[in-house]
Amino acid sequence: MQARTYFAAAIKEEPLNHSLWNKYGAACAQLLQTEESIRAYKLAIDLRPNYARTIVNLGLSHNNMANF
């Protein structure tokens, strides 16, 4: 839970940092907050569309929701 809080604070400082959005999404996913993780990953992809790590993470979150 702390990681999610820290990444949320960092995003307030750097809202255009795709890596922070990806890591925030991963922290949400670890807490089983899948819908929030998907939202964060989509924002990260908007900022950097070809970032493979985020694309994979987004796919995993959709898979966890049985959204094939």
Q: Which residues contact 55 (CB under 8 A, 6 or more apart)?
A: 45
State phi, psi for 15 to the nearest 5 degrees: -70, -15
User: How many angstroms separate the CA atoms of 14 and 35, rounded?
Assistant: 22
User: pLDDT band at 17, cuts 50/70/90?
Assistant: very high
Q: What is the pLDDT of residues 52-68, one digit of tens each?
A: 999 999 999 999 878 66
> Looking at residues 7-32, what average pLDDT do you find?
97
Look up the CATH superfamily of 2-64.
Tetratricopeptide repeat domain (1.25.40.10)
Q: Which residues contact 29 (CB under 8 A, 6 or more apart)?
A: 37, 57, 60, 61, 64
Domain ranges of the chain: 2-64
